[in-house]
């Protein structure tokens, strides 16, 4: 049985561990961390008026073992904003112990309590381990994502 996981908003003292997990997440998606982006992301997370929100999963005696970032998005198909889970990462040493599920469950509960219209996220088609968890919530939407990047 794995130790209990507590979910809470990220705070300034979490930065060193957050950076470790953030860098690992970035590399998981085959990108190298860019310090300017990392600094800006952390700054947005700490800004109470900012658009990027972060929660962490913390285990007693282990500290922060998972992170999740989310955004609230207005929509043309709903009256209330939707919650978009942009990033979710769990330390590989504790994967399979329910940390990812606990982070999603916390956000789903927050979505219902706050009256947000939906909770959504995306992942790579080949991220089979994560999809095993995600498919327990709902089947994938069937939508394909297209991205144009400004160089």
pLDDT band at 144 (very low <50, low <70, confident <90, very high): confident
| Residue whose tokens read 């955004």 | 71
Question: Angle 35-46/15-28 helices, nearest 10 degrees?
Answer: 130
Residue-wise pLDDT tens digits, 111-123 = 999 999 999 999 9
What domains can you pick out in the chain, each with its CATH number? 6-134 (3.40.630.30)
| Residue whose tokens read 């860019």 | 34
Q: How far apart are CA 41 and CA 65, in angstroms?
A: 19
pLDDT band at 146 (very low <50, low <70, confident <90, very high): confident
Longest Cα separation, the chain = 48
Hey, which bits of the chain come out as E strands?
A: 6-9, 53-59, 63-73, 82-90, 119-121
Q: What is the mean pLDDT of the chain?
A: 94
**pLDDT, position 128:** 86
**pLDDT, position 147:** 86
**pLDDT, position 1:** 42
**pLDDT, position 2:** 53
**pLDDT, position 143:** 87
Radius of gyration of the chain (CA): 15
For the residues 28-51, what does the mean pLDDT come to?
Answer: 96
Residue-wise pLDDT tens digits, 42-99 = 999 999 999 999 999 999 999 999 999 999 999 999 999 999 999 999 999 999 999 9
Q: How far apart are CA 120 and CA 27, in angstroms?
A: 23
């Amino acid at each position: 049985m794995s130790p209990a996981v507590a979910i809470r908003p990220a705070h300034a003292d979490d930065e060193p561990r957050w950076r470790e997990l953030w860098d690992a997440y970035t590399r998981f998606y085959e990108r190298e961390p860019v310090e300017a982006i990392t600094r800006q992301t952390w700054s947005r997370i700490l800004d109470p008026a900012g658009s990027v929100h972060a929660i962490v999963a913390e285990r007693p005696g282990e500290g922060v073992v998972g992170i999740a970032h989310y955004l609230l998005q207005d929509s043309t198909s709903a009256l209330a904003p939707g919650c978009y889970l942009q990033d979710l990462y769990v330390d590989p040493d504790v994967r399979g112990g329910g940390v990812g599920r606990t982070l999603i469950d916390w956000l789903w509960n927050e979505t219902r309590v706050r009256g947000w219209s939906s909770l959504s996220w995306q992942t790579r088609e080949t991220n089979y381990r994560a999809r095993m968890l995600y498919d327990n919530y709902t089947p994938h939407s069937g939508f394909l994502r297209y991205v144009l990047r400004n160089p």
